[in-house]
């Protein structure tokens, strides 16, 4: 067993082995070094969980005072790490300090208890005076290192705490550096003597770099090379360990040891073993809560996902108001986290996922049934995505090679099937293989989830029958981030008229590259007309590179004559994506450019018309001519018909448009053309004119 | 980098170069003391009373000698008088002139050594109340004025009341009043200080006249210029740097400019920068520090729960309503608190809830009939906990 304990190490060893928490050390020692303790004396408390390094810090400070000649000339450090258990009165504390000073050759005249037995406070004062005198004699001040100071303050009566504080206020003999697992009420209750009296330094979880540094040091120090290898090769797992142990050095070692010794385990038994390992840490966490807080934590853990107060109130059978208060407390304690839900209500969930897992696995709940679910959760918490992929590959290969027993397959396949780190196709493949393998045993067979494709078939059927809620439930049984799942969820909500939810899911599907979702989303956004949203959406679409997505969207804007300024930014890009060589590319580009006020492109119009004329692309020609007329390009259009080379073939292909154009021109030639218009075309031409005028009014309303 | 931390002090009284002196407070004090007025310093915890008194003690003007003592552990009359006696004796012993005058007095009582705690004078046969009077008679003949600053005095009165009964507490107050009006006491100035409002303690004894001769000394929050000076003083020599605009932002953020909160803010800012190896404090850092202080104070919850535990439902609702209103305004006027009592209808008279609960227990601070949160951090927490819509009609 790898084990590390600070107490009992020599000064030299503790200095050598002090690797992390350097800044927390430095903060206190710099004050100790700077301050001669003749003016204000700053007292400190380190607050951190068990195993966070408090005792090591206190021991390190002691070692610094012992070994730094500048410091030990004027200071003496007393560390009551072992002796604090029996401190129930303030005089117990001073007695222990005096004893310790005596062993360090301080001349203490201990007062006789018999003289004070009727007034213990006087005895306390007398002891203090003895200590003060002894310190003065040696010209030294005391640095008192008190681990678990919260327990000491709790054991001592309130009136003695008053005396304690009074001594600190009235004299300049000692400085306290405490360690505590929590911020006790002595610090935060307004009527307590030590209300906001200490400078609190919180020992936060170590970050990834600190963890690495520590493990590498241990590896060398404990001559355990596997630790170093682990750091080098298991980035993901290292992070999982850090999260699991909340970055607390001591507990981290336990987990790392487990990983080194059994690196390739991933089954349910392994999970149980890890959960057992975590028990002391989590048990302590739970033990620090009030019975009501414990109940609420446990109830939330069974939900796994974030839950709203109302739903929780129902299952926990705790009145909403009380529940809200408890939820607030637990959130403040960092046990829960608040998630913004729909509407103004918040939802809550257990912050540390592994703690949640531990709760549901050890504190009751429907265990057997959900073994596979826990296993999935475990796998996803414990392993980095790429490691999980590796495990999947191994498992999938073993399955193919028939190296997996049916009972194990019936548990492991669903566990992997529910992981979001494998694809839907891989999921279906695993299920298919396992089904073939266990088909003779109905019990195992029934434990297997349906394949994704089966779920989709069923969902589509349900949508057709208008059974939306059922369809949604079915879709949620697919754990993978499947794009089609998101699209269907969007579609169902769209059908239900819940546009807000529909947009949310379409967004997800669009992110996953579903083209239809992009187009529908574009439609919805353009319909809603929020400029920022539309612009943001364009930016995204332009980045995703969905084929013709941009152009489709710009055409939507064009059709609705909205957000020209956004379209203007993307027209060129959209046309380029559409493909410059596409026969309709230029005409579309031209119309859109006219719409946004970019007229330069029309210089190429004649060449384009020429090509189109020769190719006899009637519809495209119509599009360009009508579009040009709508956007007030009557003279250009007229010129095309008058062009020496182009004119005649053009008149042949789009004759009604020739007469239409003539109606927009006020010249002798045009008048002549109008007069020569055959009567059978009159209706057609009139209808085109009306359409153009109507569209002009639509695009240029200020003129109408 | 050799990081130099700011010279902050958190919790313990600020002294020497970490103390920010406001000359007008000292001047006000000495002016009143010179007139022979006995003084009362009553302010919530964390306002900085002790630091001011310690500064006055260490920087006495000519013609005065002073001693400060936190006397909160005294819990009966005997201990109280003994403490006063020892304090006075300890103080005058430092002066050569008094030493000569008191030689016979000390000899007759077989008192040799006096130390700073006064513990050595522990002859049980002495009646310290009488001894105190005797001592005062001798000291009173001198020109030098003697200032006795007794910190946490209301706690002592409360403790005596609890331990020896109401009459004993009244007796102490009577004795002190008589001393103040005794001619032989004329060169001794009593400064009584405390965080529990002495008015509150006295009103529970129903003897307001016993302290109405005391002249109050006000220690208010810092103004913006002072706050800037304090910040400058704290970080002058430090590695961390705060630009002018960020200082202004920090001050705006803290809003209630008690030196304690500024010290805490600078200390936590320094910690953050040190941890991240950066020198310059940014606006984002200031927001982070502010939120961090709130986040790490998980006990704020108890401030609300405490009210729930101890108050009847209607009183609780009234107090929560008042606190929420204070959280969403800078100043909440008494008139509105009164008006609100016609809506929430507390069981206890509203003024008593304001004074004896919300102000006394450190939630609010009152100035010119306006209420505000004592702690900017509790205020911010409360704002989040009780959003504004709760108080909208």
DSSP-derived secondary structure for B116-146 = TT-TT---TT--HHHHHHHHHHHHTTSSSEE
Say if B288 is an interface residue toward chain A (CB within 8 Å). no
**Where exactly does CATH 1.10.10.10 map onto chain A?**
208-368
Pick the CATH number of A11-202 from 3.90.1150.10, 3.30.1950.10, 3.40.50.300, 3.20.20.70: 3.40.50.300
Element at A202 (helix H, strand E): strand A199-202
Q: Do A40 and B14 touch (CB under 8 A)?
A: yes
Residues on chain B touching A332 (C-beta within 8 angstroms): 295, 298, 300-301
**CA-closest candidate to residue A130, choices B106, A122, A66:** A122
Residues on chain A touching B271 (C-beta within 8 angstroms): 27, 201
Strand partners, A176: A144
How would residue A580 be classed by pLDDT, with cut points 50, 70 and 90? low
A10 to chain B, closest Cα gap in Å: 27
pLDDT over 70, % of chain A? 88
Residue B74 in contact with residue B83, Cβ under 8 Å?
A: yes
Hey, which of A216-225, A365-374, A404-413, B254-263 has the most confident mean pLDDT?
B254-263
Say if B166 is an interface residue toward chain A (CB within 8 Å). no
Condensed to tens digits (0 to 9), the pLDDT of residues A104-144 reads: 989 998 888 888 877 888 899 999 999 999 999 999 999 99
pLDDT at A228: 83
Main-chain dihedrals φ then ψ at residue A691, nearest 5 degrees: -60, -45
Q: Is the pLDDT of residue B24 over 80?
A: yes
Q: Do A332 and B122 touch (CB under 8 A)?
A: no
Residues on chain B touching A191 (C-beta within 8 angstroms): 196, 361
Q: Do B73 and A200 touch (CB under 8 A)?
A: no
| Among chain A residues, CA nearest to B46 | A196
Q: Which of A159, A202, A329 sits opposite B301 (nearest CB)?
A: A329
Strand runs labelled E in A524-581: none
Q: Which residue has the higher pLDDT, B11 or B324?
A: B324
A510 to chain B, closest Cα gap in Å: 34
Q: Do B117 and A129 touch (CB under 8 A)?
A: yes
User: Rounded to 5 degrees, what angle do the CA atoms A529, A540, A493 make?
Assistant: 60
pLDDT over 90, % of chain A? 19
B65 to chain A, closest Cα gap in Å: 17
Residues on chain A touching B8 (C-beta within 8 angstroms): 42, 199
Q: Which residue has the higher pLDDT, B375 or A363?
A: B375
In angstroms, rounded to a whole number, what is the distance separating the alpha carbons of residues B129 and A538? 87
pLDDT at A3: 43
CATH number assigned to the domain covering A208-368: 1.10.10.10
**Helix, strand or coil for residue A579?**
coil
Q: Residue A413, Cβ neighbours under 10 Å: how many? A: 28
Between the CA atoms of A215, A218, A220 and A224, what dihedral angle is there, to the nearest 10 degrees?
A: -90
- How long is chain A? 704
**Helix, strand or coil for residue A514?**
coil
Q: Is the pLDDT of residue A531 over 80?
A: no
pLDDT at A143: 97
In angstroms, rounded to a whole number, what is the distance separating the alpha carbons of residues A252 and B277? 26
Q: Which residue has the higher pLDDT, B103 or A413?
A: A413
Condensed to tens digits (0 to 9), the pLDDT of residues A138-196 reads: 999 999 999 889 888 888 888 888 999 999 989 999 999 999 877 777 777 777 888 88
Q: Do A40 and B302 touch (CB under 8 A)?
A: no
Main-chain dihedrals φ then ψ at residue A307, nearest 5 degrees: -130, 145
Residues on chain B touching A324 (C-beta within 8 angstroms): none
How would residue A369 be classed by pLDDT, with cut points 50, 70 and 90? very low
3-state helix, strand, coil in chain A (%, to 5): 70, 5, 25
pLDDT at B118: 46
Say if B317 is an interface residue toward chain A (CB within 8 Å). no
Q: Is the pLDDT of residue A2 over 60?
A: no
| Among chain B residues, CA nearest to A126 | B119
Say if B125 is an interface residue toward chain A (CB within 8 Å). no
Per-position DSSP letters for A405-457, written without gaps between them: -HHHHHHHHHHHHT-TTS-HHHHHHHHHHHHHHHTT-HHHHHHSPPPHHHHHH
Q: Do A166 and B71 touch (CB under 8 A)?
A: yes
Condensed to tens digits (0 to 9), the pLDDT of residues A202-213 reads: 888 788 788 888
In angstroms, rounded to a whole number, what is the distance separating the alpha carbons of residues A374 and A335? 20
Mean pLDDT value across residues B140-169: 90
**Where exactly does CATH 3.40.50.300 map onto chain A?**
11-202
| Among chain A residues, CA nearest to B276 | A23
User: What is the value of ipTM here, to two decimals?
Assistant: 0.85
Q: Which residue has the higher pLDDT, A93 or A230?
A: A93
**Helix, strand or coil for residue B165?**
coil
Residues on chain B touching A193 (C-beta within 8 angstroms): 72
Point out the least confidently predicted range of A207-221, A287-301, B148-162.
Answer: A207-221
Residue of B1, B3, B8, B12 to mutate when probing chain A, most A C-beta within 10 A: B12
Q: Do B11 and A132 touch (CB under 8 A)?
A: no
Q: Which residue has the higher pLDDT, B59 or A303?
A: B59
Residues on chain B touching A166 (C-beta within 8 angstroms): 70-73, 152
Q: Are strands B39-42 and B188-194 parallel, antiparallel or unpaired?
A: parallel
Q: Do B301 and A332 touch (CB under 8 A)?
A: yes
Residue of B7, B11, B271, B276 to mutate when probing chain A, most A C-beta within 10 A: B11
Q: What is each CA distance from A370 to A265, A275, A307, A418, in whole angstroms?
A: 20, 16, 19, 12
In angstroms, rounded to a whole number, what is the distance separating the alpha carbons of residues A601 and A475? 49
How would residue B373 be classed by pLDDT, with cut points 50, 70 and 90? very high
Q: What is each CA distance from A112 to A127, A213, B367, in whole angstroms?
A: 9, 52, 51
Residues on chain A touching B295 (C-beta within 8 angstroms): 332
Condensed to tens digits (0 to 9), the pLDDT of residues A456-466 reads: 888 888 888 88
Residues on chain B touching A199 (C-beta within 8 angstroms): 8, 10-11, 267
Q: Do A39 and B302 touch (CB under 8 A)?
A: no
Residues on chain A touching B385 (C-beta within 8 angstroms): 328
* Domains of chain B as residue ranges with CATH: 21-216 (3.40.50.300), 224-296 (1.10.8), 300-391 (1.10.10.10)
How would residue A653 be classed by pLDDT, with cut points 50, 70 and 90? confident
Mean pLDDT value across residues A383-393: 78
Q: Do B122 and A189 touch (CB under 8 A)?
A: no
Residues on chain B touching A168 (C-beta within 8 angstroms): 12
Mean pLDDT value across residues B179-197: 84
Q: Are strands B332-333 and B370-373 parallel, antiparallel or unpaired?
A: antiparallel
Residue of B87, B293, B299 to mutate when probing chain A, most A C-beta within 10 A: B299
Q: Do B70 and A193 touch (CB under 8 A)?
A: no
Residue B372 in contact with residue B364, Cβ under 8 Å?
A: yes
DSSP letter (8 states) at residue B18:
G
Q: Do A325 and B304 touch (CB under 8 A)?
A: yes
Q: Do A170 and B17 touch (CB under 8 A)?
A: no
B284 to chain A, closest Cα gap in Å: 20
pLDDT at A581: 63
Condensed to tens digits (0 to 9), the pLDDT of residues A327-365 reads: 988 887 778 888 876 666 788 988 777 788 788 777 765
Q: Which of A27, A163, A195 sits opposite B73 (nearest CB)?
A: A163
Residue B325 in contact with residue B340, Cβ under 8 Å?
A: yes
Task: Answer left, alpha or beta for residue B149, where phi above 0 means left and psi between -120 and 50 means alpha.
Answer: beta
pLDDT at A1: 35
**Helix, strand or coil for residue A340?**
strand
Mean pLDDT value across residues A296-308: 86
Q: Which residue has the higher pLDDT, B186 or B201?
A: B186
| Among chain A residues, CA nearest to B55 | A39
Residue of A40, A47, A133, A167 to mutate when probing chain B, most B C-beta within 10 A: A40
In angstroms, rounded to a whole number, what is the distance separating the alpha carbons of residues A589 and B5? 64
In angstroms, rounded to a whole number, what is the distance separating the alpha carbons of residues B75 and B68? 18
**Helix/strand/coil (H/E/C) assignment for every residue in A92-144:** HHHHHHHHHHHHCCCCCCCCCHHHCCCCHHHHHHHHHHHHHHHHHHHCCEEEE
Averaged pLDDT score across all residues of chain A = 82
Q: How many CB pairs under 8 A join A and B?
A: 129
Say if B385 is an interface residue toward chain A (CB within 8 Å). yes
Q: Do B73 and A197 touch (CB under 8 A)?
A: no
Main-chain dihedrals φ then ψ at residue A201, nearest 5 degrees: -120, 115
Say if B362 is an interface residue toward chain A (CB within 8 Å). yes
Residues on chain B touching A183 (C-beta within 8 angstroms): 298-299
The sign of the dihedral angle between the CA atoms of A129, A131, A134, A140 is negative
Residues on chain A touching B155 (C-beta within 8 angstroms): 162
pLDDT at B119: 41
Q: What is each CA distance from A376 to A303, A414, A542, in whole angstroms?
A: 16, 8, 37
Q: Do A325 and B11 touch (CB under 8 A)?
A: no
Q: Do A328 and B19 touch (CB under 8 A)?
A: no
In angstroms, rounded to a whole number, what is the distance separating the alpha carbons of residues B333 and B154? 28
Residues on chain B touching A38 (C-beta within 8 angstroms): 16
Q: Is the pLDDT of residue B117 over 60?
A: no
Question: Judged by CB atoms within 8 Å, which residues 193-252 of B form the interface with A?
Answer: 196
Q: Do A325 and B50 touch (CB under 8 A)?
A: no
Q: Do B73 and A325 touch (CB under 8 A)?
A: no
Element at B11 (helix H, strand E): none
pLDDT at A476: 83
User: Rounded to 5 degrees, what angle do the CA atoms A8, A10, A11 make?
Assistant: 125
pLDDT at A251: 65
pLDDT at A223: 78
């Amino acid at each position: 067993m790898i084990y590390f304990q600070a107490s009992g190490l020599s000064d030299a060893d503790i200095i050598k082995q002090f690797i992390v928490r350097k800044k927390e050390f430095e903060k206190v020692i710099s004050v100790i070094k700077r301050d001669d303790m003749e003016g204000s004396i700053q007292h400190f408390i380190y607050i951190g969980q068990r195993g966070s390094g408090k005792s090591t810090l206190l021991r390190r400070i002691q070692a610094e005072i012992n070994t730094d000649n500048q410091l030990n000339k004027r200071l003496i450090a007393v560390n009551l790490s072992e002796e604090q258990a029996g401190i129930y009165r303030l005089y117990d504390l001073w007695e222990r300090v005096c004893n310790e000073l005596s062993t360090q050759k301080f001349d203490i005249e201990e007062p006789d208890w018999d003289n004070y037995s009727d007034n213990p406070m006087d005895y306390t004062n007398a002891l203090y005076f003895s200590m003060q005198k002894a310190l003065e004699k040696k010209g030294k001040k005391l640095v008192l290192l008190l681990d678990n100071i919260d327990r000491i303050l709790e054991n001592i009566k309130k009136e003695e705490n008053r005396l304690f504080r009074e001594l600190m206020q009235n004299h300049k003999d000692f400085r306290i550096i405490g360690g505590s697992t929590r911020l006790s009420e002595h610090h935060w209750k307004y009527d307590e003597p030590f209300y906001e009296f200490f400078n609190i330094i919180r020992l936060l979880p170590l970050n990834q770099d600190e963890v690495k540094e520590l493990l590498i040091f241990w590896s060398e120090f404990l001559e355990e090379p596997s630790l170093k290898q682990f750091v080098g090769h298991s980035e993901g797992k290292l992070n999982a360990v850090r999260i699991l142990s909340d970055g607390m050095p001591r507990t981290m070692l336990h987990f790392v040891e487990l990983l080194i010794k059994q690196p390739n385990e991933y089954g349910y038994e392994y999970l149980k073993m890890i959960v057992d390992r975590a028990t002391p840490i989590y048990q302590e966490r739970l033990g620090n809560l009030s019975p009501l807080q414990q109940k609420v934590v446990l109830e939330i853990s069974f939900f796994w996902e974030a839950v709203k107060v109302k739903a929780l109130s129902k299952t926990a059978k705790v009145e909403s108001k009380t529940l809200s208060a408890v939820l607030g407390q637990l959130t403040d304690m960092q046990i829960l986290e608040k998630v913004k839900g729909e509407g103004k209500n918040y939802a809550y969930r257990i912050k540390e996922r592994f703690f949640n897992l531990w709760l549901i696995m050890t504190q009751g709940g429907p265990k057997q049934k959900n073994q596979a679910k826990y296993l999935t959760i475990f796998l996803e918490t414990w392993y980095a995505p790429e490691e999980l992929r590796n495990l999947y590959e191994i498992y999938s290969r073993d399955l193919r090679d028939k190296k997996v027993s049916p009972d194990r397959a019936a548990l492991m396949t669903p566990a992997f099937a529910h992981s979001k780190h494998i694809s839907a196709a891989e999921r279906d493949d695993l299920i298919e293989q396992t089904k073939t393998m266990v088909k003779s045993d109905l019990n195992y067979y029934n434990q297997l989830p349906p394949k994704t494709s089966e779920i989709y078939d069923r969902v589509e059927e349900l949508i057709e029958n208008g059974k939306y809620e059922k369809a949604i439930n079915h879709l949620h049984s697919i754990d993978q981030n499947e794009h089609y799942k998101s699209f269907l969820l969007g579609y169902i909500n769209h059908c239900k008229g819940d546009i807000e939810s529909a947009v949310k899911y379409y967004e997800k599907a669009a992110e996953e590259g579903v083209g239809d979702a992009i187009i529908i989303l574009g439609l919805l956004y353009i319909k809603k007309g929020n400029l920022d949203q539309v612009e943001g959406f364009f930016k995204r679409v332009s980045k995703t590179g969905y084929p013709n997505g941009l152009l489709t969207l710009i055409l939507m804007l064009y059709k609705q004559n909205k957000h020209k300024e956004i379209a203007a930014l993307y027209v060129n890009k959209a046309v380029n994506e559409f493909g410059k060589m596409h026969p309709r590319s230029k005409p579309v580009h031209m119309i859109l450019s006219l719409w946004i006020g970019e007229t330069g492109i029309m210089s190429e119009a004649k060449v384009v018309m020429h090509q189109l004329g020769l190719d006899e692309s009637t519809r495209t020609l119509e599009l360009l001519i009508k579009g040009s007329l709508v956007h007030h390009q009557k003279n250009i259009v007229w010129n095309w018909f008058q062009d020496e080379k182009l004119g005649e073939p053009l008149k042949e292909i789009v004759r009604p448009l020739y007469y239409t154009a003539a109606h927009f021109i006020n010249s002798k030639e045009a008048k002549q053309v109008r007069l020569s218009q055959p009567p059978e075309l009159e209706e057609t031409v009139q209808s085109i004119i009306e359409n153009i005028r109507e569209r002009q009014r639509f695009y240029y309303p200020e003129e109408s | 980098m050799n990081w130099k931390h700011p010279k902050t002090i958190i919790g313990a009284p600020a002294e020497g170069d970490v103390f920010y002196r406001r000359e007008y407070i000292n001047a006000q004090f000495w002016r009143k003391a010179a007139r022979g007025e006995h003084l009362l310093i009553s302010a919530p915890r964390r306002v900085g009373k002790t630091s001011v008194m310690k500064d006055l003690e260490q920087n006495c003007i000519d013609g005065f000698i002073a001693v400060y003592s936190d006397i909160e552990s005294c819990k009966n009359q005997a201990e109280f008088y003994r403490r006063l006696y020892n304090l006075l004796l300890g103080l005058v012993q430092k002066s050569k002139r008094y030493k000569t005058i008191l030689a016979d007095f000390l000899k007759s009582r077989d008192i040799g050594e006096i130390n700073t705690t006064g513990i050595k004078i522990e002859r049980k046969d002495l009646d310290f109340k009488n001894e105190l009077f005797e001592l005062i008679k001798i000291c009173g003949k001198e020109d030098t004025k003697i200032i006795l600053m007794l910190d946490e005095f209301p706690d002592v009165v409360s403790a005596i009341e609890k331990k020896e009964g109401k009459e004993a507490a009244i007796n102490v107050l009577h004795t002190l009043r008589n001393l103040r009006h005794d001619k032989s006491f004329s060169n001794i100035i009593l400064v009584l200080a405390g965080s529990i409002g002495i008015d509150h303690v006295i009103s529970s004894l129903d003897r307001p006249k016993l302290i109405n001769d005391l002249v109050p000394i006000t220690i208010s929050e810092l103004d913006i210029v002072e706050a800037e000076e304090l910040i400058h003083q704290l970080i002058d020599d430090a590695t961390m740097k705060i630009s002018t605009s960020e200082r202004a932002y920090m001050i705006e953020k803290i809003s209630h400019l008690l030196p304690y909160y500024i010290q805490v803010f600078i200390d936590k800012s320094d910690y953050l920068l040190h941890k991240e190896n950066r020198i310059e404090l940014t606006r984002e850092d200031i927001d982070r520090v502010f939120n961090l202080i709130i986040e790490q104070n998980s006990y704020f919850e108890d401030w609300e729960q405490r009210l729930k535990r101890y108050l009847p439902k209607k009183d609780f609702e009234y107090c929560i309503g008042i606190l929420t209103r204070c959280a969403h305004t800078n100043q909440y006027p008494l008139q509105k608190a009164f008006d609100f009592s016609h809506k929430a209808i507390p069981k206890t008279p509203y003024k008593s809830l304001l004074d004896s609960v919300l102000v006394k227990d450190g939630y609010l601070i009152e100035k010119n009939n306006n209420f505000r949160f004592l702690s900017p951090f509790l205020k911010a927490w409360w704002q989040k906990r009780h959003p504004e819509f709760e108080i909208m009609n």
